[in-house]
Amino acid sequence: MDLEAALRQELETRKGAILGLCRDLIRIPTENPPGARYRDCAERLRVELETLGLPPEVIEVPGFSDHPRVNLLSIHGSEGPVVYFHGHYDVVPARDPEQFMPRERDGRLYGRGSADMKAALASMMYAVSLLKDRRGPLRGRIGVCLVADEETGGQGGSAYLDRIGRLGQDAIAMLTPEPTSGVVWNANRGAITLRVTVRGKSAHVGLQHQGINAFEGMLKAAAAVQGLKAEVEQRRTGYRILPEAAAGSILLLGGKVEGGTNFNVVPDACSFTLDRRFNPEETLDAEKERLFALFEEIRRRGIALDVDVLQEGAASGVPDDHPVARTLAQTIADVTGARPEFSMCPGLLETRWYARKGVPAFAYGPGLLELAHGPAESIEVESIFRHTIIYAMTAARLLA
Ligand SMILES: [Zn+2]
């Protein structure tokens, strides 16, 4: 029997357990922010991995007393290079507590985290268990890395594992099951998100000559940033992205603007956000340096300002003809009957943690991006099983 048929046969006996795990995970409201119930969810994942014979190491992050940050790492196999399945178990906050009551209707499983990405975690874990129980000859190991905090930048998740040297050790490939709506994301934009606060001095309107107007300072600062915006937004990525109009590098100004206390008081502080989303052809360091040099220049013009970094992350990209990309695409074609398209993810992706070590990293998951984070988040049940097969076959082929 060929590999796919053997895996499918074995999967039949596990579909109930996979769905049971999906429902259990959805029931634990791991909302982030603030990072709730992580320990409970990590414990449920730990028990499942133990049961599957894939005992994980539980890695708790120091310094988070209110909401502990917990990550799980399980490596199957004794030696050789590692193919990583990497996913996050935190979810964006629910619109309604009902979202934590999993429901099935018309072949779909509904609930917060169904698409992004608790059901996909079950797919990955069972993919490894299918391969393990086949006892086929794998030339290498498979890692399952389950992290917290992805939705807020990864501080208590991937960033921590990376800092302690536990992320992507010996990796030859990484796959994360973000809801990609059928395409493979082989690249992602980087982000530098800042809050710029211009400082002034408060005074009553009648004595405004005694004050320093932070709003007027902010207008000048924002105008200077607009100059940079016009320049960087000329740059276009060579990676495929839909719609094509989205190919330009991005500098969004004023997503949130705050300041002042009343119409008759000189404002002593005004702030605006700046969200720089740069293409894989641009680097985090260079783009950050450019922004901070501009802020220095604005300060030299006599405008007092503070800059807070709200988040930052590198861009990354792997060519779609990379051998790992070809193996993944061929496997998807074999299982689904259609070759996937490659494109750039519009947001940040945890592939970046691996990519910057030179590991080819991709996102491909059973969910639909348009449903993730939404009020009616759901996933097609069959796609959970289909992806279990795709993940197992991809790892088997990469380690053949
Ligand atoms: Zn996600």
Do 20 and 10 lie in a common domain?
yes
Contact, 170 vs 82, CB < 8 A?
yes
Domain count, the chain: 2
Task: Write the CATH number for 69.
Answer: 3.40.630.10
Q: Where are the alpha helices (DSSP H) in 97-239?
A: 119-134, 158-163, 214-232
Model confidence, pTM: 0.89
Length of the chain: 400
- Chain mean position to CA 300: 38
Dihedral pair phi/psi, residue 238, rounded to 5°: -85, -10
Do 270 and 217 lie in a common domain?
yes
Q: State both tokens at 312.
A: 């930052």
Do 270 and 367 lie in a common domain?
no
Task: Write the CATH number for 210.
Answer: 3.30.70.360
Do 45 and 180 lie in a common domain?
yes
**Domain final residue, candidates 296, 313, 330:** 313
Do 88 and 31 lie in a common domain?
yes
Which sign does the torsion angle of CA 198, 201, 204, 210 carry? Answer: negative
Q: How far is the CA of 338 from the centre of ligand 1 (A)?
A: 24
**Domain final residue, candidates 313, 328, 345:** 313
Closest among 56, 189, 71 to 128, alpha carbons compared:
56
Determine the pLDDT at residue 244.
Answer: 86
Do 34 and 158 lie in a common domain?
yes
Residue type, 10: E
Do 184 and 195 lie in a common domain?
no
Q: How far is the CA of 292 from the centre of ligand 1 (A)?
A: 30
User: In the chain, what is the greatest distance between 2 CA atoms, to the nearest angstrom?
Assistant: 88
Q: How far is the CA of 364 from the centre of ligand 1 (A)?
A: 11
Do 326 and 391 lie in a common domain?
yes
Q: How far is the CA of 88 from the centre of ligand 1 (A)?
A: 7
Q: How far is the CA of 179 from the centre of ligand 1 (A)?
A: 7
**Tally of CB atoms within 10 A around 313:** 23
Do 203 and 173 lie in a common domain?
no
Domain assignment of residue 195, given as a range: 190-313
- Identify the three-state secondary structure at position 197: strand
Q: How far is the CA of 282 from the centre of ligand 1 (A)?
A: 24
Do 363 and 375 lie in a common domain?
yes
Q: State both tokens at 274.
A: 């700046």
Q: How far is the CA of 377 from the centre of ligand 1 (A)?
A: 12
**Tally of CB atoms within 10 A around 35:** 22
Determine the pLDDT at residue 347.
Answer: 82
Do 39 and 167 lie in a common domain?
yes
Those residues whose C-beta lies under 8 Å from the C-beta of residue 220, and which sit 6 or more positions away, are 298, 301, 303
Q: How far is the CA of 316 from the centre of ligand 1 (A)?
A: 17
- Say which residue the tokens 């100004």 belong to: 253
Do 9 and 94 lie in a common domain?
yes
Blockwise average pLDDT, block size 10, the chain, 400 residues: 91 98 98 97 98 97 95 96 98 95 98 98 98 84 97 94 97 98 95 97 97 98 98 96 90 96 98 96 96 98 97 92 98 97 91 94 95 94 98 96
Q: State both tokens at 141.
A: 């190991």
Q: How far is the CA of 117 from the centre of ligand 1 (A)?
A: 6
**Domain final residue, candidates 313, 336, 360:** 313
Determine the pLDDT at residue 161.
Answer: 98
Q: How far is the CA of 189 from the centre of ligand 1 (A)?
A: 15
Q: How far is the CA of 259 from the centre of ligand 1 (A)?
A: 33
